Amino acid sequence: MDKKLVALTAAAYLGTFIADIDITIVNVALPAIQADVDASLAELQWIVNAYAVCLAAFMLSASGLSNKFGLKRIWMLAMALFTAASLLCAFAGSIGLLLVARSVQGAAGAVIIPGAMSIIFHAFDDAKLRAKVIGGWSTFSAIGLIVGPLLGGLLVDSTGWPSIFLINIPLGIVALALGGWGMKEIAVEKDLRLDVAGQTLSILWLGGMTYALITAGQHGLLSTVATVPFTGSCLLFVVFLHQQSRTANPLLPLPLFKQSDFDISNLASFILGFSTYSSLFFFSLYFQSAQGASASEAGVRMMPQFLLTAVVSLFFGRLHARISAQWLMVGSYALIGVAMALLFFAEVDTGYVYTGSLLALMGVGMGVAVPVTGVCVLGSVNKSRFATASAVMNALRQGGMAFGIAILGALLGAEAVRYATRLMTADGIPQAALRAQALVFTAATDATAAPALHYYREAIAHGFQMAMLVAGSACLIMAAILAFQGRSTPRANGPASRTKQIE
């Protein structure tokens, strides 16, 4: 292989690796960040969601930016921004600055991840070699997601939470150097009109809705600070849909959702993000805040989910050859749903054999659900729309993750306060409701005292149980919808037959 192609490939692999690892690595650092910058539960949600919201909102516009200004130029700019934002995250002295830097990381990641695939596709003319390189890219992407919690835990315990961001700096610089030397600029479409209005509306309604949902967890669904942004976000969403239906080059091509099964498959992608991708936030809180594990211990405890996801995905091709995509989706979403629902019984003193086994079951389900959802989404459109369909699917998955952390996090917080209030009241503690609110949401300084720590851990565990029950139920309902769709759709038109378009 030509040296410049090797450099280009390495740059694409590294860029994707650090963008993907930042999706998972930060979760195990949340308790350490909370203690250092005195962050509330809502602010912890935003540390993850600032990245997820911007990743989802900008992913649909990544291809347009690359086509108009040049794939290499935009990808290199995004890589430089991601690297600089990582440095800013590491040295952020306040929660506000950290959230700004995380937002920049998310926006840059939205260009880096899909851009790497496009760079590889344009660079390799030989189909077999291109397929092999893309396979390696997928492996690096999976490795980034898998090692994130483990590496993050080790770094937090050994050198502190800023190191989870500092690790991006040398990797980002190497990726920039390799990309600058190995990549060639792709022909640009200078006359291409970007959907600036659609991009602005998408950020406003998605960010506003996430803010409303997170705020509702602390102040209540009917509080003014929650209802006003919620109403405004709903209105902005309606305006966004109207604008997308009338613009010539929309971010979100609405006619795609009129095609057979595209809408159901993308709903499944959203639910996958809502339940499983958001679950890392809650697993970290459960293992560290409820059970008292260290960051590295929490990372190790999460590994069964990722390892099983990687192993099972290797056998997806064989499974798909024997079982239709429709019923693989039903089975995988049902398995994830059952595993997450059973976490409802995980308490403060529950042994790891129980939780680890359920995480492994989730991993088995995800090892099938992730690839088969992609197969069904792409199998419902013509080949000419594959890139657009893939972008929509990934944006909805990241949006689902943002909503999952917001909604399930609000539920966790509200249930934790209710349970802590009940425990304190039973023990005769005065002003139990106010004390419980402070304990759960504002990281009260007395939370480390023995009595308060007991209430805090029990409350977080109870909130975790409710969040997992709702997440598991969402997957089970999705499995039921898919099963109904499979029975009501003739086999000739099912996903298994449609996927032949892809091959």
* Residues whose CB falls within 8 Å of the CB of residue 426, separated by 6 or more in sequence, listed in order: none
Q: What is the mean pLDDT of residues 164-173?
A: 95
Alpha helices in 70-126 (DSSP H): 71-90, 95-123
326 is written with which tokens?
Answer: 């429709």
Shared domain check, 470 and 368? yes
Q: Is residue 4 part of a domain?
A: yes
Shared domain check, 419 and 273? yes
Please say if the pLDDT value at position 99 is more than 90. Answer: yes
Return d(Cα 32, Cα 280) in angstroms, integer.
16
421 or 93, higher pLDDT: 421
Q: Is residue 321 part of a domain?
A: yes
Q: What is the mean pLDDT of residues 166-181?
A: 94
Domain endpoint, select from 161, 184, 207: 184
Q: Are 296 and 161 in contact (CB under 8 A)?
A: no
Please say if the pLDDT value at position 443 is more than 60. Answer: no
For 62, counting Cβ atoms within 10 Å of its Cβ (0-12 exposed, 13-18 middle, 19+ buried), the class is buried
Which pLDDT does position 76 carry in this prediction? 95
For 474, counting Cβ atoms within 10 Å of its Cβ (0-12 exposed, 13-18 middle, 19+ buried), the class is buried
Sign of CA dihedral 265, 269, 274, 275: positive
Parent domain of 24:
1-184
Alpha-carbon dihedral 174, 395, 402, 195, rounded to 10 degrees:
90
Shared domain check, 466 and 368? yes
53-62, 131-140, 155-164: range with lowest mean pLDDT: 131-140
Domain endpoint, select from 155, 184, 213: 184
Residue whose C-alpha is closest to residue 301's, from 285, 315, 278:
285
Shared domain check, 295 and 244? no
Coil, strand or helix: which one is 429? Answer: coil
Shared domain check, 73 and 202? no
Q: Is residue 462 part of a domain?
A: yes
Domain endpoint, select from 160, 184, 208: 184
Q: What is the mean pLDDT of residues 216-237?
A: 87
Shared domain check, 123 and 241? no
Return d(Cα 165, Cα 90) in angstroms, integer.
5
Please say if the pLDDT value at position 24 is more than 90. Answer: no
Q: What is the CATH number of the domain that holds 60?
A: 1.20.1250.20
* Confidence at 474, pLDDT banded by 50, 70, 90: very high
pTM: 0.86
Which pLDDT does position 248 carry in this prediction? 80
Percent of the chain with pLDDT over 70: 93
Please say if the pLDDT value at position 449 is more than 60. Answer: no
Report the Cα 393 to chain-centroid distance in Å. 12
Shared domain check, 434 and 384? yes
Q: Is residue 190 part of a domain?
A: no
Return d(Cα 1, Cα 4) in angstroms, integer.
8
Q: What is the mean pLDDT of residues 77-102?
A: 94
Which pLDDT does position 273 carry in this prediction? 93
Shared domain check, 406 and 293? yes
Q: Is residue 111 part of a domain?
A: yes
65 is written with which tokens?
Answer: 């930016």
126 is written with which tokens?
Answer: 């030989």
Shared domain check, 412 and 308? yes
Return d(Cα 392, Cα 269) in angstroms, integer.
10
Shared domain check, 315 and 236? no
Alpha-carbon separation of residue 37 from 30, 31, 56, 160 (angstroms): 10, 10, 27, 13
Domain total in the chain: 3
Shared domain check, 301 and 238? no
Which pLDDT does position 498 carry in this prediction? 42
**Residues 114-139: pLDDT tens digits?**
888 788 878 888 777 877 887 777 77
Which pLDDT does position 496 carry in this prediction? 41
Please say if the pLDDT value at position 344 is more than 90. Answer: yes
Return d(Cα 111, Cα 77) in angstroms, integer.
9
The winner for highest mean pLDDT among 95-99, 265-269, 299-303, 352-356 is 352-356
12-16, 75-79, 384-388: range with lowest mean pLDDT: 384-388
Q: Is residue 189 part of a domain?
A: no
Q: Is residue 261 part of a domain?
A: yes
Shared domain check, 146 and 121? yes
**Residues 479-501: pLDDT tens digits?**
999 998 866 554 434 444 444 44
Q: Is residue 34 part of a domain?
A: yes
125 or 420, higher pLDDT: 420
